[in-house]
Amino acid sequence: MKLQGKTILLTGGTDGIGLRLARQLRDKGASLIVTGRTPARIEAARAEGFEVIPADLAGPAGIEAVLAGLGERSIDILVNNAGMGADHDFRIAPPVAEDDERTLWLNLHAPIRLIGALMPTLRARPEAMIVNVTSGLAIAPSAGAPLYCATKAALRSYTQGLRAQLKGTGIHVLEALPPVVDTQMTAAMGGSKLTPEACARQIIAAMEGSKNEANVGMVKFLRAVYSISPALARSIMLRF
Ligand SMILES: NC(=O)c1ccc[n+]([C@@H]2O[C@H](COP(=O)([O-])OP(=O)(O)OC[C@H]3O[C@@H](n4cnc5c(N)ncnc54)[C@H](OP(=O)(O)O)[C@@H]3O)[C@@H](O)[C@H]2O)c1
């Protein structure tokens, strides 16, 4: 898909992978409307010239805020990028129900609600796209973050069903599966990490190529292992 001239709503566009996506998509000639939550990040994104709709998408009020901020404007592309995930170990502590609810909301309910609400405007466009950012962990979970992996696997499954339903319409559905990327989300992790700039570049290449999946960086290898042996892929990933 040609990105020049497209209007894009991008959630979580004030930091991390989302901010790099916003910058690079703007460089391609797209108009960006991004969402974010933290006031300082919102101001910084506005200082870069982005339109920002403040919204906490870990609950229904955030959806209302985004839709109110959009008003009657139509969009061509919806990028469901905002997400969060924390490690949790039942052997150490019980889960905090409120934290789990927020993770479920942000990672799963919010994309589904936004897709539902914006489907009429997307269908009215000559060509449109929905991009759902999941994770390599949607293919095979790690042991460290069961709920995070479950939300990403659920969004991957939803994305595949949605793509099948929208085949033949003007709406293309892309799933972006990042590997470990150097953002706030992974600040506490060691090991090698892809830069958010490189991650964004690969996602945008998949958008331009109208691919079904952007298997970013090392996720390509995980995907290849999974296609040969799902059990092997799972046993490798569950070590983490
Ligand atoms: N980093 C990785 O290694 C990695 C790997 C695989 C997949 N992913 C996925 O990639 C996406 C982006 O991750 P990232 O690493 O770029 O995360 P990040 O650096 O933490 O940035 C997340 C963005 O979402 C916003 N956000 C966070 N909580 C929000 C909430 N409750 N409501 C609305 N916006 C919220 C953040 O801004 P505020 O906090 O100011 O709201 C920020 O703009 C996520 O879906 C994540 O699951 C990341």
> What is the per-residue pLDDT across 109-161, written as a single tens digit (0 to 9) for each?
999 999 999 999 999 999 999 999 999 999 999 999 999 999 999 999 999 99
Q: What is the pLDDT of residue 231?
A: 97
The pLDDT value recorded for residue 96 is 95
Q: What is the CATH number of the domain that holds 69?
A: 3.40.50.720
Does residue 152 lie in a domain region? yes
Report whether pLDDT(64) > 90: yes
Domain count, the chain: 1
In a domain, 2, yes or no: no
- Is the CB of 189 within 6 Å of ligand 1? no
- State how far the Cα of 38 lies from the Cα of 228, in Å rounded to an integer: 43
Q: What is the pLDDT of residue 222?
A: 97
Any domain includes 1: no
pLDDT at 219 over 90: yes
pLDDT score of 86 more than 90: no
Average pLDDT, the chain: 97
Quick one: pLDDT band at residue 107, thresholds 50, 70, 90? Answer: very high
Ligand 1 pocket test, candidate residues 63, 84, 87, 147, most atoms within 8 A of CB: 84
Average pLDDT of 189-215? Answer: 97
Structural domain for 109, as ranges? 7-237
